[in-house]
Chains A and B, each alone.
Chain A
Amino acid sequence: MKFDSQTYLLTDKGRFGNITLVMGIIGLMLSIAAWLIDSEQFYHSYLTSFVFWITIALGGLFFVMLHHLVNANWSVVIRRFGESLMMTIPFMAILFIPIIFGIRELFDWSDAELVASDHLLQGKAGYLNIPFFIIRTLIYFIIWTGLALTLNRLSMKQNISANFEQIKKMRIISALGMILFGFTLTFASFDWLMSLDAHWYSTIFGVYIFSGSFLAMLSLTTFIIIRLQNYGVLTEAITKEHYHDLGKLIFAFIIFWGYMAFSQYFLIWYGNIPEETIWFLHRWEGSWKIVSLIIVFGHFVIPFFVLFPQGAKRNKIVMTIMTLWILLMHWVDIYWLVMPSLHPHEIHPTWINPAAFFGIGGIFLYIFWRFFTRHPLVPINDPNLKKSIDFIS
């Protein structure tokens, strides 16, 4: 990998693109085999991995919109990471197609016989039915793709000639986009994850998914930056001060995630209504109890104390380990949300999980890398670029 620190272009893109593409293709081929062997397990594993990667892409969209909305200076050098992550969204829409075929095996509410015998599901049938589910998913992807493409187009125009009109436009789009993002992410998480257990409901669920989503995006970005800097890429533009700020955001969102997770649990525990508590009861049975405890400690307690000191956020080794750990925990979190609907009593580890994970992940990272390396790695004409490079946390 070779990097030109004058033009911020990668002159030699290295093998990362090829490795991820091969990884993705092998993973998806194994996933097809898995579908032939055990289609129900495949659909659940695929949904888990799909949600893992789409939440990171949506975290990227959120990062870019937040950056424009508050006119941030420090994150200009990091903006391209968010932009390249959000540009995977249109491709993720294509990767959603298998889930549409799996609706009948994933979601109880799609079973007409079951609905006929279940009064609660009949009441929800106006919302939870296959055509409306597909229409809603289509709307989410149209909104996300529209936002991502527009923001990316304006940002790429900046490379050629920058003016304040573009910045103003990006800010207006971000302001409206934030509102749309809030609604779409909430309903997408209701549809794709919460409706797996169609009786259960939690109004905070969307925020819970969002907190994990942005946390995972920040962790992946920090990890990629550290890896790239080992190859001498962006070593002058991104400094310890930026790590410190990314670390602070990661730390804040660990707390925010914990706050949301506890709030969700706390109200259901307090209310003690059977149709709500059953969801947590399932996740406190057999080996699921261990997974629940791993999430409490691994997703909150351990990262909270490790990232507490200032020195930890400025230390590349600590941040490498913690960002990977948080990404793993984000996956465990989604696994914990999805899988109990298939294996209600015991966890059931299978090779299909990593196959789907690396299949979607390989394609995701390949597309990310293609968009990321096509242009200068920072917005070279952004008026705030100098401020961002000189930034002191």
Chain B
Amino acid sequence: MSNKVIKTVGAIARFRGTGHLLEAATRMQESGYKKYDCHSPFPIHGLDKAMGLKRSSLGWLVGLAAIIGTTGALALQWWTASIDYPLVISGKPLFSYQAFVPVTFAIGVLLSAFTALIGMLAFNGLPRFNHPVFNSDQFKGVSDDLFFISVEVNDPQFDETRTIQFLESIGGTNCELLQENEE
């Protein structure tokens, strides 16, 4: 017990509602904080804009997956049906693209959907077991009726006293440092 070191991993402040959270997020962005996040019980329209978040590049990845999926599926059907094992079915040409459309479409959709799900999880750094914000007791209220902004310690501007002061200056209440025990 005695050789435990308490380490600061971030700071957290509570805000009163969506309006305050949006305002505070804008101030956070203006003041140059990079590693911060807003937490609310429900999605808030315009929060991404207030935080200055860029559009996710996931769309491009999904688009690429769709192209690979459709061309791959079409190529597979073409190769199996007309090169590797040619089989005349109901007198139609070997490469009957009409018949290949449903499978091409389905595999294109399947691969894009998987890419979208797995890519989304990967971009969000999920799955993970725990996050320092859960060390705060008040943070439980985020799934009910409370709004928070958290700042991570690896933000270049992070300073234990100044960050707390700043969070208070933009209207945050119940400001506290997030701490973690380290062996």
Q: How far is the CB of A121 from chain B (nearest CB, A)?
A: 29
* Interface residues in A248-271 (C-beta closer than 8 Å to B): 262, 265-266, 269-270
- What chain B residues lie within 8 Å of A392 (beta carbons)? 45-46
Q: Tell me if A270 and B99 are in contact (CB < 8 A).
A: yes
Count residues of A near B (Cβ-Cβ below 8 Å): 7
Is there a chain A Cβ closer than 8 Å to B2's Cβ? no
Whether B45 and A262, one on each chain, are in contact in the complex, defined by CB atoms closer than 8 angstroms, is no
Instruction: Type the 1/0 row for A266-283, where 1 means its CB is closer than 8 Å to any CB of B.
Output: 100110100000000000
- B90→A272 contact, CB < 8 A: yes
A220 to B12, CA, bound (A): 51
Find out whether the CB atom of A262 lies under 8 angstroms from the CB atom of B46: no
Q: How many inter-chain contacts with C-beta < 8 Å in the A-B complex? A: 14
- Which residues of A are found within 8 Å of B90, using beta-carbon distances? 270, 272
* CB contact between A266 and one of B45, B91, B92, B101 (< 8 Å): that residue: B101
| Interface range, B side | under 10
**A residues in contact with B102, CB < 8 Å:** 266
Say whether B45 contacts A269, CB under 8 Å: no
Closest to B55 in A: A310
CB-CB nearest in chain B for A265: B98
In the assembled complex, the CB of A242 is this many whole angstroms from the nearest CB of chain B, namely 14
Residues of B within 8 A of A270 (CB): 90, 98-99
Nearest B residue to A309 via CB reads B59
CB proximity of A113 to chain B, nearest CB, Å: 37
| B46 nearest CB neighbor, chain A only | A392
Instruction: Evaluate contact between A266 and B46: CB separation under 8 angstroms.
Output: no
B99 & A262 in contact (Cβ 8 Å cutoff): no
Q: Which residue of A lies closest to B63 (CB)?
A: A308
Cα-based distance from A270 to B100 in the complex (angstroms): 12
Which residues of B approach A to under 8 Å, CB–CB? 45-46, 90-92, 98-99, 101-102
| Residues of A that sit less than 8 Å from B by CB | 262, 265-266, 269-270, 272, 392
14 contacts between A and B (CB under 8 A): A262-B101, A265-B98, A266-B98, A266-B101, A266-B102, A269-B98, A270-B90, A270-B98, A270-B99, A272-B90, A272-B91, A272-B92, A392-B45, A392-B46
